[in-house]
């Protein structure tokens, strides 16, 4: 891992924490405790998690900070530094009542903790972060996990990684109403500095794999935002579910798409819609690419890893129909640059970011070239960031948190 990048990340987290702590005391009159959670980027394995498949994400150096202190009136009060807005709820009457507001995410964590038998007493919480919203870097999971860590401390409780990730996913699925898998919450909570994670989304078993020292991960934001709660993301999830149901009915032994082969899918083609067939073909082939990507990493074969990223992007664009013209342009520009091994869309799709694997000594020039060409082509100024795998929330807490 690049020590300079890691040091910058630590300083950034401390700055976010110091400001949130200062504002919290000024607003609520009490010292609070700060807890942080990073963002994530997925190197390969898109839309496979909610069908029990394989993914390969890493935690990256953006952060959400949650500062918490006690109050004695039985209320949950959230203040967002980013929105400069405060909302308040009576804990005794809390139900599953999302409002389509940013507060649904932290409030949903309170509700989800209760489903685990953990009831929290009154609290004030200040939230701050620099994770780009709608960029495919999982700002929602970062917010959920930071909130969960703060509230678990407030309640005097500790939970294992799988439970933290599961309750935060429940927040997303059952409270907010977004049809997402568990990858985001799992890597945001459980990432480890210097490692990418191969996660089996059915068993929740995982391996930590080294990122070769000769490459950097560059994240490029198309500046086109997306949303997961409903819309096209929800449509794709429904199409996948319909195809999976056909396979489950027609092919004994198949429970989830990760159990199916492309031959199984072809045999059931006439029994599902063309859209479901294409979406399922993406997921089945993507699971295979993730497993092959693991082998490429272990061999240090960054060339093959990059080829798999390009194949994954084509599958997201064509079979899953979840890219966008702006993202496609970013990928095309990236692949023309010296030292770029691979590029693809990352996150749920329909905008957001690309993830790029770039030779370390070409990374700075890559960023400048991509920014310049994207601006010249589409008139949009893309944000680009050179990243390295960072610690997730549980590892940060074990190392003393962000205070």
- What confidence score (pLDDT) does residue 31 get? 95
Residue that wins the pLDDT comparison between 111 and 226: 111
State the average pLDDT for the chain: 92
pLDDT band at 14 (very low <50, low <70, confident <90, very high): low
Give the Cα separation of 232 and 352 in Å (integer): 14
- What confidence score (pLDDT) does residue 226 get? 59
- Mean per-residue pLDDT for 347-364? 93
- What confidence score (pLDDT) does residue 348 get? 83
Which two three-digit tokens encode residue 85? 């807005």
- What confidence score (pLDDT) does residue 13 get? 58
Question: What percent of the residues of the chain are helix, what percent strand, and what percent coil, each to the nearest 5?
Answer: 50, 20, 30
Q: What is the helix (H) or strand (E) element at residue 89, kind and residue range? A: strand 85-90
pLDDT tens digits for range 16-31:
788 899 999 999 999 9
pLDDT tens digits for range 231-242:
677 789 899 999
Pairing of strands 75-80, 123-129: parallel
Q: Which residues are catalytic?
A: 184
Domains and CATH numbers, the chain: 3-211+390-398 (3.30.230.10), 215-387 (3.30.70.890)
pLDDT tens digits for range 206-218:
999 999 989 999 9
pLDDT band at 3 (very low <50, low <70, confident <90, very high): very low
Distances (CA, A) of 215 to 59, 79, 212, 225, 294: 16, 39, 6, 28, 16
At residue 300, does pLDDT exceed 80? Answer: yes
pLDDT tens digits for range 146-163:
999 999 999 999 999 999
- What confidence score (pLDDT) does residue 400 get? 67
pLDDT band at 2 (very low <50, low <70, confident <90, very high): very low
At residue 8, does pLDDT exceed 70? Answer: no
């Amino acid at each position: 891992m690049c020590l300079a990048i890691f040091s910058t990340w630590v300083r950034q987290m401390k700055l976010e924490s110091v400001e949130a702590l200062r504002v919290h005391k000024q607003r609520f009159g009490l010292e609070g405790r700060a807890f942080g959670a990073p963002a994530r980027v997925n190197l390969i394995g898109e839309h496979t998690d909610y069908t029990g498949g394989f993914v390969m994400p890493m935690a990256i150096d953006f952060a959400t900070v949650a500062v918490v202190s006690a109050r004695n009136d039985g209320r949950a009060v959230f203040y967002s530094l980013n929105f400069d807005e405060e909302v308040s709820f009576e804990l005794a009457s809390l139900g599953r009542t999302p409002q389509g507001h940013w507060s649904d995410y932290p409030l949903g964590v309170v509700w989800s903790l209760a489903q685990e038998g953990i009831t929290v007493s009154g609290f004030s919480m200040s939230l701050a972060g620099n994770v780009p919203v709608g960029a495919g870097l999982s700002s929602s999971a970062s917010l959920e996990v930071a909130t969960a860590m703060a509230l678990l401390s407030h309640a005097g409780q500790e939970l294992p990684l799988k439970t933290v990730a599961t309750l935060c996913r429940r927040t997303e699925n059952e409270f907010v109403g977004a049809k997402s898998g568990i990858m985001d919450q799992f890597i945001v909570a459980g990432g480890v500095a210097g490692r990418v994670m191969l996660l089996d989304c059915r068993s929740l078993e995982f391996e930590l794999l080294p990122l070769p020292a000769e490459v950097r991960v560059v994240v490029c934001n198309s500046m086109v935002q997306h949303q997961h709660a409903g819309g096209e993301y929800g449509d794709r999830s429904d199409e996948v579910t319909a195809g999976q149901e056909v396979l489950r009915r027609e092919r004994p032994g198949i429970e989830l798409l990760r159990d199916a082969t492309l031959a199984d899918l072809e045999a059931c083609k006439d029994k599902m819609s063309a859209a479901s067939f294409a979406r399922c073909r993406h997921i089945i082939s993507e699971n295979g690419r993730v497993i092959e990507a693991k082998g490429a990493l272990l061999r240090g074969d960054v060339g093959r890893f990059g080829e798999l990223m390009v194949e994954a992007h084509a599958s997201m664009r064509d079979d899953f129909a979840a890219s966008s013209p702006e993202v496609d342009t970013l990928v095309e520009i990236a692949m023309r640059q010296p030292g770029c091994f691979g590029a693809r869309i990352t996150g749920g799709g329909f905008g957001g970011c690309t993830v790029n694997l770039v030779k370390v000594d070409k990374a700075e020039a890559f960023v400048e070239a991509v920014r310049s060409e994207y601006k010249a082509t589409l008139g949009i100024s893309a944000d680009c960031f050179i990243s390295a795998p960072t610690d997730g929330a549980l590892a940060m807490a074990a190392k003393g948190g962000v205070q």
